[in-house]
Structure 1
């Protein structure tokens, strides 16, 4: 039975929605896996800090103990001792200043202004860390805004903040993280996304299926968050490794991961352009097995590169796979009645150079393979 034309747009919208939902779910699962252990440890530390303040110190409302612990630890595994200490100091400083202003002057507009000025300027004097300054101001505002009657004595909330910060610092010390771990995971995830997208483009070109091209473009557009996280995490890991005697040996690998993050981001942008150009070509009746096979080869290479970066293995195998693919990437060899496939091959060459460099080759070496 022939499908009614009026039903087709609705079916296509549903298909695109399913692609986006699948990508969202995939990203969500990754974020949950990455945050599970940090969140559980932070929750345990927050509960214990409340217990110490409530049962040990006898505070009736130890609100700031778990708050300080959670603020300092958060939900990520990036728990550099210095950063946690900076946050703990900022919380304690803000609470202390807030207590002084609230007890001396009470709540009010001018008091809130005063505690922000004092907290921020004192924090800038103590240390250059931005989070220390922000937390000093935020906690001071909270103290001044909350009723004084809710305090367990003149130093109750300040003591609670110290307890919470101390538990956070203890967790950071007792659960040291490999500075490379999260950056490696995001490298693998980003290249897995790129591999899946290239495979979708490959199938769309071989089958002449414009809908697959649209699916590939939807996949590509949903990956930018992972790529941005990779760049941010590896940059923070480098900062940690530079000041940590135990992590300094990881700097060479982190430099490679940082370079790869830039190149893979560029490759993904090229892949999006390929998907858009490929969609136009397929809609005009173009289909080609040879170029589709080359895209499949790039997909395989991207997946292998992601696995190598994720595990810290040698990336030479990826370079070999890409070297084989380059044989299929001469635009002059394309048997095309028009210019569409030649354009795709030129774009694929640019993407291949990005992946070759991400696998460790220099720009000159990568360009030489394609010359």
Structure 2
């Protein structure tokens, strides 16, 4: 049966068209609320960290630095807290150093030359040159130049302060780092689970939609599922960055030291899970090509993809400590491997004779990608590489013997 596109519903009655538009609107509203709820759960702690850092920085600036109007200390503290969420410590320190450099160069030159257009340009050039000489990265260069612009255009230095403004800002930045890493650190594993949600949920939906499209031999639906899997690259990058930040928290924050072992286990699972997602994208690409070339796709392969999506959802549930038993997900993965083995067909009794596949060229490649993705998912569930490989081989042998 050749692949087909879904027919356009141009002749729908007006009532059906209104119902469809209303349903799509409700789905968009529901999705928007879910996204905002997810962002609140992910970044809600950021508001607490910023508030605590601003309060402490204001108090220190007023009481100990002799600043009657402590603005830079709490401002820098809040900026550092916001910048450190989901980034590595090195980049956060670069931001702080960039702010301090911009303030120091700006204060030094503005006291001699005053404020003006050419003075602003000179201050920015010198601030960035200093940042380059200390081998700073992009964050340091940006912050040094941006802060120099603010200092050169907002106001002249306040000479009656007991300490320079760059010291005030440095203290605020250090307070922001201390609050984020020591006083109110993020919960590493909980943060990772929330960062994984926008990766795993669309993957599960895309695999299920792919299976439905394959069952209908709907080329457009298969391509849409493939595009959905391809669009997860930026979210996977955010997950990797969050993982790096979580690792630094458990290394530096005494309140999170006891979570080092559990985070290390979770980190390994995330890495293998990401590899399996790349495999899922390869499966979707090959099966979409199989549809386009009108290759056969047995029902067992479609059922295996549905079961693979279910196993990812099961693994997502068992990632919490209270549901840490992965055996259900492992059984689903191995059953899916058996189904793919049945879709491939029985091996030839005589190894010298060609093996007659039930799959075409692209389908056979998709089967190999499926075995690799299943192996990675088994490792994400906590298995070792050798054990996972042996179980996949046994599942294929069972499928070939039936």
Report the TM-score, using the length of structure 1 for normalisation: 0.74
Alpha-carbon distance between aligned partners in 2 of 1:30 and 1:278, rounded to the nearest angstrom: 37
Matched, 1:179 2:191: no
Pick one of 344, 363, 370 that aligns with 1:348.
370
The structure that has the greater radius of gyration is 2
Contact 1:188 1:309 in 2 (8 A): no
Deviations 1:179-226 (A, max 9, x none): 333223333542332222111111122233334323312321332222
Q: Give the structure-2-normalised TM-score.
A: 0.69
Number of aligned residues: 357
1:226 aligned residue (210, 226, 235)? 235
Correspondence list, 1:241-260, <5 A: 241-242=250-251, 246=257, 248-250=260-262, 252-260=264-272
Q: Please, which runs of 5 or more residues in structure 1 have no aligned partner?
A: none
Hey, what does 1:101 align to over in structure 2? 109
8 Å Cα contact 2:273/2:376 also seen in 1? no
Alpha-carbon separation, structure 1, partners of 2:288 and 2:78: 44
TM superposition shift of 1:299 = 0.8
8 Å CA contact 2:297, 2:359 repeated in 1? no
Within-5 A mapping of 1:320-331: 320-330=331-341, 331=343
- Matching of residues 310-329 of structure 1 within 5 Å: 311=321, 313-329=324-340
Partner of 2:352: none
Q: Which runs of 5+ in 2 are unaligned?
A: 1-6, 347-356, 397-402
Report the equivalent of 2:275. 263
**Match 2:304 to one of 294, 302, 305:** 294
For residues 333 and 57 of structure 2, what CA distance do their matches in structure 1 show? 54
Q: Paired residue for 1:214?
A: 223
In 2, are the aligned partners of 1:39 and 1:75 still within 8 Å (CA)?
Answer: no
Aligned pairs for 1:10-159 (under 5 A) are 30-39=38-47, 41-42=49-50, 45-46=53-54, 59=68, 63-74=71-82, 77-78=85-86, 87-88=95-96, 90-107=98-115, 108=119, 109-118=121-130, 121=133, 124=134, 135-136=143-144, 138-148=146-156, 151=158, 153=160, 155=163, 157-158=165-166
Rounded to whole Å, the distance in 1 between the matches of 2:76 and 2:189 is 27
Alpha-carbon distance between aligned partners in 2 of 1:118 and 1:363, rounded to the nearest angstrom: 49
Counterparts of 1:291 and 1:20 in 2: how far apart (Å)?
Answer: 32
CA contact (8 A) 1:329 1:346 kept: no
1:357 corresponds to which of 379, 385, 390:
379
- Does the Cα contact within 8 Å between 2:230 and 2:281 map onto a contact in 1? no
